[in-house]
A and B are shown apart, each in its own frame.
Chain A
Amino acid sequence: MNVIEVTDLTKIYDSGLRKGNVIALNKVSLQIQAGEIFGLLGPNGAGKTTLFKILLGIVRATSGESTMNGLPPSNPESRAKVGYLPENHRFPNHLTGLGLLESTGRLYGIPQAELDIRFDRLLHLVDMEKWADTKIRKYSKGMAQRIGLAQALIADPDILMLDEPTDGIDPVGKVEIREILLKLRSMGKTVIVNSHLLSEVEQAADRVAILSKGQVVRMGEVSELTSRQSQFEIEAEIGDHLFELDEAMGKVRLISSDRMTVELQDEKDINYVIDQLRFKKISIRSVKPVKITLEQSFFEAVRGKQEPVI
């Protein structure tokens, strides 16, 4: 079931007479399913935060449609079960950490008795029990992020939208946040993470969309984006055997006497390659698709090596 649906979403900011219009989003379409961790990646200015803001009704779309839990952003009820951690947030700093949770809970209309039950659990989850009664203005960046995550969870949301959640957090804290995200997924929550930290997203996300200049340039499961579907690495007793393919089928690159890569026009032709190796009585130890990191995939996408999928 899709909890978020975005269709041909376009946002054009009017930057004044001299600067003209800025296209922040250009016909973006995507669907996010319930219970998945969805990574939204892209360089600065790609439109990631704008997409979040449109979904949350903070910014109005120029054209296109979007829904959360089947409701448009203009309906405040669409945000009733949504938690949001903004990027570069500035929570009311006259509040303590506990005060922020209380204030946020009341904005969601949660009864005080229910809030009292949730405070301890959330403060424990983000490891902020000791600092609950300290004013937010005295928090470090990492502490502010932790309490920000707690306030995003106060309404027990079905959808959690996190804009740069690990910003300012130390490596241990990053691992803890990743564990929290995985735990939330196991509880059936949908988590959308907007991050520059590709390795973080790679380790936690189920699916990823890469935005560049307001367009989705790549989208799919992390495993899809990190594998070159038509490239395979073969470990075999190649020795001195000459092994070549028709140009129409693909290319072979010998790396060493027991390792080579094949780049095929059609990945199904890997069966033909395997048959040929066997025919030549070459012993095959392994055949595996060539993997790249999400970072490599990201750079390929934003540098325009792939046409937009929209």
Chain B
Amino acid sequence: MRGMTRDSLAELFDRKILWVFAVLTVFAMLGAAASRSLNARMRSSGADWQTVKGEVMSIAMNSLDAFVALLVFLAVMASASAVPHMLERGRADYFLSKPISRKSLLLSKLSSTWVVYSAVVVLAGFLVFGTISLIHELFDPRVFWLLGMAAVSMLVWLSITFAAGIFSGSTAMAIITAFMTWIVQTVLAGREGLKMFFNSDIADAIVDGLYYIFPKTSELSKLGLALALGESVDNWLPLWSSLLFGVGVMTVALVYFTRKDY
């Protein structure tokens, strides 16, 4: 990646974003530590250890899922400026004059940003889960399903903000595009209600089509949670359709990027 990972890490330190993640993680760890009395209370109610363990794990995973979702959101917002920043006047010349193809440059930037932020999110999530594990004397390696899905979700969001950054050259537009995509995917998640509202075969086809095209990161999160809790999963559509969407927008963005004058 031609040193871009180190560069992204240096930028993360410089912009003090890392401190935000660190502070949130410490608070989450303190919250986890404060849950010490939870299993004692549950056991005092007469529940057996397996039931208590199951309940605590469920609460822990759901809490961790919400915490990781917050970190992914912050990471996406924080990295929305990566491409507009790289391509602003005077800086684009610096990057584009190097003996590296534009495709490699952009993919290196995307992958390095993803690696750095994913590592931060996974580490933060693992620290919080590690605290829970220590407090409640339980550990389940399936937590990595949850953290892994969060990393995949972040890759999809980064693809969207990177593509928007390339087309618009604006951080604000990259953030707005991410928000708009999130709103559309949330609306499409409740597509049955939409179909009832329109009550038309054509509308049904359009809504279904959009549902399959758009990413489904909320459902991806649920998928990760289910896997972390050891539940069986039959529908992998959220995973591959989200990834396909990310690949699709990045492909279009790459074609545009390789042809644009700077």
Give the B-binding residues of A (Cβ under 8 A). Answer: 13, 53, 56-60, 76-80, 82, 84, 86-92, 94-95, 99, 102-104, 106-109, 135
B96 within 8 A of A: yes
Q: Which of A59, A77, A82, A99 meets B261, CB within 8 Å?
A: A59
A57-B97 Cα distance, complex, nearest whole Å: 7
B91:A58 contact, CB within 8 angstroms: no
A60:B259 contact, CB within 8 angstroms: yes
Residues of A within 8 A of B261 (CB): 13, 53, 58-60
| Interface pick from B8-16, B27-35, B115-123, B192-200 | B8-16
B99 within 8 A of A: yes
B97:A91 contact, CB within 8 angstroms: no
A84:B97 contact, CB within 8 angstroms: yes
What residue in chain B is nearest A152 (Cβ atoms)?
Answer: B97
Residues of A within 8 A of B4 (CB): 106
A60-B101 Cα distance, complex, nearest whole Å: 14
A56:B94 contact, CB within 8 angstroms: no
Residues of B within 8 A of A60 (CB): 259, 261
Q: Which of B10, B15, B100 meets A99, CB within 8 Å?
A: B10
What residue in chain B is nearest A57 (Cβ atoms)?
Answer: B96
A84-B2 Cα distance, complex, nearest whole Å: 18
Q: Which of A58, A87, A88, A108 meets B99, CB within 8 Å?
A: A108
Query: Could you show 14 A-B contacts with beta carbons less than 8 Å apart?
Result: A59-B262, A76-B98, A76-B101, A77-B99, A78-B99, A80-B99, A86-B93, A86-B94, A87-B90, A88-B90, A92-B94, A102-B3, A103-B6, A103-B7
Residues of A within 8 A of B98 (CB): 76, 79, 104, 107-108
Are A86 and B97 also in contact (CB < 8 A) when A58-B261, A91-B91 are?
Answer: yes
Q: Which of A58, A79, A87, A104 meets B262, CB within 8 Å?
A: A58
For chain B, the count of residues having a C-beta within 8 Å of the partner chain is 28
Residues of B within 8 A of A102 (CB): 3
B95 within 8 A of A: yes
A59-B93 Cα distance, complex, nearest whole Å: 10
A53:B3 contact, CB within 8 angstroms: no
A77-B98 Cα distance, complex, nearest whole Å: 9
Residues of B within 8 A of A103 (CB): 3, 6-7
What residue in chain B is nearest A148 (Cβ atoms)?
Answer: B94
Are A76 and B100 also in contact (CB < 8 A) when A91-B91, A102-B3, A107-B3 are?
Answer: yes
A92:B91 contact, CB within 8 angstroms: yes
Residues of A within 8 A of B208 (CB): none
In angstroms, how far is the closest chain A Cβ from the Cβ of B183?
31
What residue in chain B is nearest A83 (Cβ atoms)?
Answer: B97
Contact code string B99-134 (vs A, CB < 8 Å = 1, else 0): 111001000000000000000000000000000000
Residues of A within 8 A of B93 (CB): 53, 56, 58, 84, 86, 89
Residues of B within 8 A of A13 (CB): 261
In angstroms, how far is the closest chain B Cβ from the Cβ of A13?
8
Q: Which of A77, A82, A92, A135 meets B97, CB within 8 Å?
A: A82
B92 within 8 A of A: yes
A92-B92 Cα distance, complex, nearest whole Å: 10
Residues of A within 8 A of B11 (CB): 92, 94
A189-B98 Cα distance, complex, nearest whole Å: 18
Are A91 and B14 also in contact (CB < 8 A) when A58-B261, A59-B262, A103-B7 are?
Answer: no
A109:B99 contact, CB within 8 angstroms: yes
B92:A76 contact, CB within 8 angstroms: no
A94:B92 contact, CB within 8 angstroms: no
A91-B95 Cα distance, complex, nearest whole Å: 9
Which 3 pairs, one residue from A and one from B, show the smallest C-beta to C-beta distance? A106-B3, A94-B14, A90-B90
A108-B94 Cα distance, complex, nearest whole Å: 12
A80-B4 Cα distance, complex, nearest whole Å: 18
* Extra contacts besides A57-B96, A82-B99, A92-B7 (10): CB < 8 Å: A56-B96, A58-B97, A59-B261, A90-B91, A92-B11, A103-B3, A104-B94, A107-B100, A109-B2, A135-B14
What residue in chain B is nearest A115 (Cβ atoms)?
Answer: B3
Contact code string B7-47 (vs A, CB < 8 Å = 1, else 0): 10011011100000000000000000000000000000000
A92-B96 Cα distance, complex, nearest whole Å: 13
What residue in chain B is nearest A137 (Cβ atoms)?
Answer: B14
Residues of B within 8 A of A89 (CB): 90-91, 93-94
A60-B262 Cα distance, complex, nearest whole Å: 9
Residues of B within 8 A of A104 (CB): 94, 98
B140 within 8 A of A: no
What residue in chain B is nearest A61 (Cβ atoms)?
Answer: B261
In angstroms, how far is the closest chain B Cβ from the Cβ of A222?
27
Residues of A within 8 A of B95 (CB): 107
Interface residues of B in 163-187 (CB under 8 A from A): none
A88-B91 Cα distance, complex, nearest whole Å: 9
Residues of A within 8 A of B90 (CB): 86-90
Residues of B within 8 A of A88 (CB): 89-90
A56:B97 contact, CB within 8 angstroms: yes
Residues of A within 8 A of B88 (CB): 90
A92-B87 Cα distance, complex, nearest whole Å: 11
Residues of A within 8 A of B96 (CB): 56-58
Residues of A within 8 A of B6 (CB): 103, 106
What residue in chain B is nearest A81 (Cβ atoms)?
Answer: B99
